[in-house]
Structure 1
């Protein structure tokens, strides 16, 4: 029996290397076709775009093309492997964009981890694309890179490790809170991991109504509290005045634990110290912060989610980024803003409460699936995602004034 490693390497190498390719969208059967596709016919759209840059959306593939761009500094759980080694992940992102939202992708691996150089590269190639998906860039550099590029460019610039993760966490958490009889405004939340995903997720939860004074963020040195002098600008925004300084302290009486850190950092004692009807999102991959089988055996009142596909309630970014970009591209949005993120959250959460279609059950080999402790977030192969989420995102873009086209 072959191993996962053997299967994965074979999958990427055969029958042709890589996971994505380009294809031709126009006829090329005759000499006339070629004269239109290239010289002399191609000069006509060139002239139109030279007169009006917006014409690029009409005459080229720009409007449905996203760049997946990385410097390879924070690739999955593998760390700083460099730009080229991150290419299989970027190709994989392109595969997901195409498979779930029919968005074309060029993956671009930039061989520099200098912030200024990276920003310059992206700024200078951005005109090719309808949107920019930043990927696997380490914190805190990723915050500056995204913010500055957003200010420079008039197309969506989106760091999925931040906001894609945040959207799926928020949607799952809203449903988990409803099932546990709690509200976002009242719960005590512990977030372990104060990097890109952690800070963005807490930003979104705060925008949705979480009380930042009830939110404890924990990094490798403990709780972010006002007595610490080693916090960067982004972490300082979540420093609270508290005498809880360790992860064990933070877990006492907590309603929600969100893990975006590393394996096995949540002990049995920490779990048992949480409030009644707790929620644990242990999202470290492949090994979560606490083993879900152990956690569920200890606490029958627990709702549990992980980043793994072999357990219920997988918090999977593929539920978000393809449809966020699909909605943004469809109305030619200038950005993906907080209103668009919220629209995605509400739509994902609502979809999980509806009856599950038979084709979804068949795709996962299930006899039934209903909203409850083992189903708080839609499944990736649910075709309703493509129907619902982009429309909600596009409408939010229109309502918030960043769309250039009607829905």
Structure 2
């Protein structure tokens, strides 16, 4: 394990994450209405008799009438948990719950975790095999070798559904994809490369087998275990899985094996690869150092001796991360969608090639904008980013087609274009982009001023902001009070936090001078300014940002939004040519709706409405969406008529005359005409090709009421308000916010995604 300083969170935060709200990470919810007696009668007795009889008559209809066709079991006995070893079945449950969450998050696959309390392979096999009627697929996880080989093989032979040990094949598929691209960049042909594999466990063997299946000759691969190269005739304990990769070689050490080698594939231990070993590899060496959390060699060490190397690791803080989440959700997605009877070699190869080909493609502008950086195929981008929203479509489709071509699909797909469209619709791109925003915040940490650090909610968010590695929180409050609260929240090192107290801050003279120059002709005396700086925490916090002592700020829990905005406005201006306004994000499973302006402008005129529409559309694009803007009203295209419609119609005309506008927009229209496809059909002249995802409200009263009403009804599915248009990143949380809300807004402010 890495030292605590290498981790982006503390043990306390990890335990808090798993215990807060409700224990664990998963829950079961009904997918059908359960509100009335009739609903219950349909769901259970007597209505359930109809699908029971249908399945008894034709077992294939279980895919229609039950969740089985989208349900995967994640199963372990806890004999090889992460890098922690054999800690038992119960201890593996947090990992298995996490895997279930990833299935749902990335591929909309429902998943149940099952922990079996046995180390006997035969008992394990029997228990899993008996569960076939319940599940559409089996994901084996964290099972020690060599038992994992025995278990997987036996279950694949006995069960007529996909079975995959992800520790083996997930890593293999992603590593193979990266290797394909590394060889492409260095002009190598797989049939000519010489590869050294360090490690002979389940993952290493699976990687080696898949890479050989892609075309690397058996005799060109030297596998090493703790005793060195595995060669024919080697004495000592070598099981059947290792001996299958024995070759004729004179090499008797890893160092000797690596001389002249093109590829190093490491699935072993930290520090196993020395810089001196890398020096003796072939030109443009390919190094996959995948030990976690510390690789066999750190990328900077390898680059120091071989600047021409292409390097991949298992870590997200280095380029070219070999991450299983690129594979297993989409492999099972494709397998389930064609009701495959197994996951075979052809499907794994198809997944690897699809991932490799995706990395070579030009990253679409909206995806690059959403990720906040230019990601293009090259030596530091041979594997797609884990949160690339295109993975779902490309990998799942490739796997489904390979299942069909290899004869293991029971329900072939007839229209792949329609299938690809359905895959896109299953997930909400906002969730992918927000996840990437958090990752990018870690790579470019900022100083965020938390203006109300004496509040427990704010302080929890600030602690997480630091512990998760997003940046440095600057805490505003009374020093003694803040430290006492940090201690009460079990922070071991409260003195390590930066606390800015207006009572003794060294920046006060500069703050007074700065603010007096801004406000001396607006009715403020220097004495007024000094008192305001000392007493108003939002003014003080905003001045820290204005003078460069912080990159962004967040406030709002102790004062109404309007008051906080006015106090911040004493210090910070809006962007030139912009107006400040607020956006709420309403996030569902496969949609996001952007609602604006919900916070600032009471009765926006036509120019302001047009500006709000353009800026909100830009935010939507940065979060991975193609904007479709609806200017909302009580009237739909003049019905009913009224006196408050002209500014909305004029805003539409302003966009008509703006050649820079590339998004869809329409108005004036009622919400049902903007969101309900059945109602939209009544207006064939509407310029919206699909339901709107950007709703521009006609005034603050309706906007704020709608946002707060939806927040109360939708709960965690609402983010915001997000303040747009200020010269510096500022976010004002609602007074009802909880720590995760504050943390999200702080990260968004730091990342500048919605500034």
Do they superpose with TM above 0.5?
yes
- Residue 358 of structure 1 and its aligned partner are, at CA, apart by 4.0
> Aligned pair 1:165/2:171, yes or no?
yes
Q: For residues 101-112 of structure 1, what are the structure 2 equivalents within 5 Å?
A: 101-112=107-118
1:317 alignment counterpart:
324
> Which of 63, 74, 92 is equivalent to 1:68?
74
Partner of 2:405: 399
Gaps of 5+ in 2: 414-755
Q: Does 1:283 align with 2:297?
A: no
Residue in 1 aligned with 2:58? Answer: 52
Q: How does 1:148-297 map to 2 (within 5 A)?
A: 148-229=154-235, 230-297=237-304
Q: CA deviation at 1:236?
A: 0.7
**Distance of aligned partners of 1:3 and 1:348 in 2 relative to their CA distance in 1, 3 Å threshold:** closer
Q: TM-score, normalised by structure 2?
A: 0.53
Structure 1 residue 4 displacement after superposition: 2.8
1:331-362 Cα offsets, whole Å, 9 max, x none, are 00001111111111111111001112345435
- The CA distance in 1 between the partners of 2:134 and 2:205, in whole Å, is 30
Shift of 1:102: 0.2
CA RMSD of aligned residues (A): 1.3
Q: Could you tell me which residue of structure 2 aligns to residue 382 of structure 1?
A: 388
Tell me how far apart the structure 1 counterparts of residues 10 and 381 of structure 2 sit (CA, whole Å): 27
- Contact persistence 1:360–1:381 (CA under 8 A): no
Deviation at 1:389, TM superposition (A): 0.9
Q: Counterparts of 1:289 and 1:303 in 2: how far apart (Å)?
A: 14
- 1:166/1:204 contact within 8 Å kept: yes
TM-score w.r.t. the length of structure 1 is: 0.97
- Aligned twin of 1:140: 146
Query: What is the CA–CA distance in structure 2 between the aligned matches of 1:146 and 1:387, rounded to whole Å?
Result: 27
Q: In structure 2, what is the Cα distance between the partners aligned to 1:160 and 1:362?
A: 32
SS of 2:139's equivalent in the other structure is strand
| Displacement after TM superposition at 1:109 (Å) | 0.5
Say yes or no: does 1:31 pair with 2:37: yes
Instruction: Tell me the SS of whatever aligns to 1:351.
Output: helix
Instruction: Name whichever of 298-307 and 40-49 sits farther off.
Output: 40-49
Say whether 1:124 aligns with 2:130: yes
Of the three residues 372, 375, 384, the one matched with 1:369 is: 375
Whether 1:301 aligns to 2:339 is no
Q: Distance in 2 between matches of 1:189 and 1:360?
A: 34
Superposed CA deviations along residues 255-303 of structure 1, whole A, max 9, x for unmatched, are 1001001100111111111111101000000000011111112211100
What number of residue pairs does the alignment pair up? 406
| Residue range with higher mean Cα deviation, 252-261 or 1-10 | 1-10
1:399–1:291 CA distance, 2 compared to 1 (3 A): same
1:350 alignment counterpart: 357
Give the Cα–Cα distance (whole angstroms) in 2 for the partners of residues 361 and 248 of structure 1: 41
- Report which structure shows greater RCO (CA 8 Å, sep ≥6): 1
> CA 1:15 to 1:363, structure 2 compared with 1: closer, same or farther past 3 Å?
farther
Alpha-carbon deviations, 1:359-397, whole Å to 9, x = none? 54355442x111111000111111111111111110111
1:10 correspondence with 2:12: no
In structure 1, the residue matched to 2:737 is none
* 4+ residue runs over 6 A deviation: none
CA contact 1:363–1:381 (8 Å) conserved in 2: no
Which has the larger Rg?
2
Runs of 5+ unmatched residues, structure 1: none
Provide the C-alpha distance between the structure 1 equivalents of 2:94 and 2:149, rounded to a whole number of angstroms: 24
